[in-house]
Amino acid sequence: MLIASLSAPFVSSLTIVWPSSRAWSSRWRSSREPRPAPRQSSLVAGLHAIEVAEADAPGEARIVAAVIALADQPLVGPQAVQRLIDAFAAGALVVVAAYDGRPRNPVLLGREHWAAVADMATGDMGARPFLRAHPELVTLVECADTGSPLDIDTPEDLARVVALAKGD
């Protein structure tokens, strides 16, 4: 899971959250869960790592949002992330990429919703419980023309994604 934190109007840092719940920020800070945690904790650990990095860097601009992107979806392009950022700049506080009208990743979360997202995160569903509980907050942004949300979980998935990337 990658979490790019935003300080309007551009990306100010990048936090990479590994499956072991170790989070590394481009500000060279890390966060480790005190105990082994389920996969969902990578979202919580990433958001926490942003807050820790921010606390360790007084005087820098406050991070106002985070873009959550999954590392196993390599065909999600930078244009999708830019569309989420543009929607945020226009006033949306929770923005979800849609592919042919279906919500997928990446997701942008305004900072005011981080605590509620973390509180509702269960299993490996990440922010999905929050998004489903608060559809009135969600702005869908169509991104089907920017890439594909296909993920890689198996060797067959990898072969399919490689073929798509080559244009086969």
What does the domain layout of the chain look like in residue ranges? Answer: 2-142
**Could you tell me whether strands 65-69 and 2-7 are parallel, antiparallel, or unpaired per DSSP bridges?**
antiparallel
Longest dimension (CA), the chain: 50
The pLDDT value given to residue 110: 94
Query: Does residue 18 carry a pLDDT above 70?
Result: no
In degrees, to the nearest 5, what angle opens at C-alpha 84 toward C-alphas 126 and 93?
A: 70
115 versus 41: the higher-pLDDT residue is 115
Query: What is the separation of C-alpha 128 from the centre of its chain, rounded to a whole number of angstroms?
Result: 12
Tell which residue, 55, 126, 65, 123, has the closest CA to residue 94: 65
- Full-model pTM: 0.77
> Which CATH number applies to 2-142?
3.90.550
CA distance 145 to 77: 10
The band of 132, judged by pLDDT with boundaries at 50, 70 and 90, is: very high
The pLDDT value given to residue 143: 96
